[in-house]
Amino acid sequence: MKYIFIFIVVLISSLNNQAISQSDSTNTARNAVYLEAGGLATYGSINYERLLPLKNKWNLALRIGFGSYRLKDFNDQFNPDLIIPIAIYGLYGKQHKVEFGFGQAITNIVRANPSNFQVERESKLSANFTIGYRYQNVAGGLFIRIAYSPIIEFYKNYRHWGGVSVGYGF
């Protein structure tokens, strides 16, 4: 998981340098921090997104987040399940945008070992797709989005899912 994070940071840095050189001189908010109810981390998450302007009304957005749906394990000890959504979106529009994208959710869930009933962590991947609407002022400020985000849970079960996000662009 450490290598995935390093890869994303390097990717964002390299794409950001190219995007800045191709964009115009307007002050564009390229960062967003937001809370999402539902969505790629199942029940909720806090997310960071980097916007990369492309041409005309097209943008690319890279997202990473953190969520959890259980904070205590079966022994009633603090041992949260971790969900890390990672996604890439294509965006079209100025302030009102249509978004579409795909990504992965890395889950690290606490389970009981069936042979000795000890706490174990199990890591799995789930694929996700997104199509939605977002309001994001070009200069920053309020950020709102609503999306249909089906999840292919552990690459086995297809789940219809959606999310609503509110945050701040800067």
Task: State the pLDDT confidence band at 17, using cuts at 50, 70 and 90.
Answer: low
List, in sequence order, every beta strand (DSSP E) within 20-169: 31-38, 44-53, 58-67, 82-92, 96-112, 119-136, 141-148, 151-153, 157-159, 162-169
All domains of the chain, ordered by start, with CATH? 2-169 (2.40.160.20)
pLDDT digits (tens, 9 = 90+) for 114-133: 888 888 999 999 999 999 99
Q: What is the pTM of this model?
A: 0.79
DSSP-assigned letter for residue 12 = H
- pLDDT band at 25, cuts 50/70/90? very low
